[in-house]
Structure 1
């Protein structure tokens, strides 16, 4: 039997080697199948995460678009209101100029009457009043009225522009806060 065993040793060795290789092949096949399953699961997870990220990016983009549209509308409304306020200031300036012109016309008529009365008194031999102080007063009044009108117009337009600037700043600040807080109003 030992001789038979020695004679067939190469057969038994080949059989054991074949079984070992078959087992190794079976183990490699199982590992490959497990790796393929893990790869498929990872790819599915990656695709789901990409889809979620794309949806989140789309929502964020839409939110920012809405915030930008709202800010642009607020700025347009503020600009319209500012233009109306500036037009109102210009109208006020025009009315003030009309009132100033009427006042200056009335003052010029008064001075003309006063000069004529003074000349009539002088022609009658009476003491004629000096008209220079009245003319100086009229000139000072005209200058003061002109300057007051200019300053009033500057103040009115500065106020209208300041309010528009404040509203634009508030709108931008609100948009930035809303973007940082993650909510679209």
Structure 2
């Protein structure tokens, strides 16, 4: 009788067993889904944390490079200012040299006039004939040598000022690159 009841209700028991199996499978699916969602949320949080850390590091590095560049620009600007001041000083020196040359040429011209007047007075007295060619040649040579020396001095002074400015710019750029390389290595 029990067996007959079991057979008669077998489809019920099968349906119950199938329902329990499906319920268990659904429960396992739900638990698996919940675990997957937790893992996804953890991965999302980790990713956001890593992105934020990378963004902070990039910002810090960017600021460091910006400071290095600003320092380099300031050094170059100061170097340019110093070079312009040195060139202006060289120009002022050239102007002073030209003024001195002009004064010396006037003094030499006055001397030559006095020498010629004295030589002509001696010639008028019958002592000797004046020969102004050597003194004129000396005056011309002195004038040309002084002009050329002034030009060369000005060229040398401005070249030195520009060379020093170039050296300072190179040193500044090299220091900036070394600092950037050291910052990148850290």
Which TM-score applies when normalising by structure 1? Answer: 0.92
In the other structure, the counterpart of 2:172 is 171
CA drift of 1:5 comes to: 2.9
Structure 2 counterpart of 1:5:
6
Distance in 2 separating the partners of 1:66 and 1:165: 22
- Cα shift readout 1:83-107 (whole Å, capped 9, x = no counterpart): 2211211121122112111211111
For 1:135 and 1:22, the matched residues in 2 are separated by 127
Gaps of 5+ in 1: none
Structure 2: distance between partners of 1:2 and 1:38: 50
| Counterpart in the other structure of 1:96 | 97
Aligned to 2:118: 117
2:58 maps to 1:63 = no
CA distance in 2, matches of 1:36, 1:91: 81
2: CA distance between counterparts of 1:113 and 1:59? Answer: 80
Q: CA RMSD in A?
A: 1.5
Deviation at 1:123, TM superposition (A): 2.2
1:4: how far off? Answer: 3.0
With 166-175 and 6-15 compared, the bigger mean Cα shift is at: 6-15
* CA displacement at 1:43 relative to structure 2: 1.0
Please report how far the alpha carbon of residue 126 of structure 1 lies from its aligned counterpart in structure 2 after TM superposition. Answer: 2.9
Matched residue, 1:33? 34
Q: Which runs of structure 1 show a deviation greater than 6 angstroms over 4 or more consecutive aligned residues?
A: none
Segment of structure 1 superposing worse, 131-140 or 8-17? 8-17
1:62 is displaced (CA, Å) by 1.5
Task: State the partner residue of 1:127.
Answer: 128
Q: Distance in 2 between matches of 1:5 and 1:87?
A: 118
- Equivalent residue number for residue 156 of structure 1: 157
Instruction: Name the TM-score, length of structure 2 as normaliser.
Output: 0.91
User: How far apart are the structure 2 equivalents of 1:136 and 1:17?
Assistant: 131
Q: Distance in 1 between matches of 2:51 and 2:79?
A: 41
Alpha-carbon distance in structure 1 between the residues aligned to 2:62 and 2:27:
52
Residue 179 of structure 2 aligns to a residue whose secondary structure is: helix
Shift of 1:117: 2.1
State the aligned residue count.
183
